[in-house]
Amino acid sequence: MDHQVPVPRAQLRRLADELATALRAVTEARAASDALDVLTQVTVAIEDLSATQHELVNVLLDHGHNWSQVGEALNTSPAAAQRRYPRRQRRTTSSPTSL
């Protein structure tokens, strides 16, 4: 990409937390001795990473990138990126996370 997109720290922290959750699932899959447990943990990791990827697409679009740039980053066409990651409404305020 030609330029960096400033992303608010709160969003970066939330996305980092989502990545950490996926990494924990991968770590648990590596430690599992039962194939069904491995499959379960890998599935959790893939779902978490997919949700984070979708959120990153929205963050990029919220901060001025276009579908051509997003498609290039995803190694796909702009139209395919748009179909795979339907646009959510832009967030106007950050909602508190409950832990």
* pLDDT tens per residue, range 31-75: 888 889 889 888 988 988 898 899 889 988 988 899 999 999 999
In the three-class reduction of DSSP (H, G, I as helix; E, B as strand; rest coil), residue 6 is classed as coil
Phi-psi region for residue 64, left (φ > 0), alpha (ψ -120 to 50) or beta? left
The phi and psi torsions of 33 (rounded to 5 degrees) equal -105, -15
Q: Can you read off the two tokens belonging to residue 54?
A: 């979708």
pTM: 0.70
99 in a structural domain: no
- Please tell me the distance from the alpha carbon of residue 41 to that of residue 77, in angstroms, as a whole number: 31
pLDDT band of residue 82 (cuts 50, 70, 90) is very high
Range of 46's domain? Answer: 9-84
66 in a structural domain: yes
Q: What is the percent of the chain with per-residue pLDDT over 90, rounded to a whole number?
A: 27
Domain count, the chain: 1
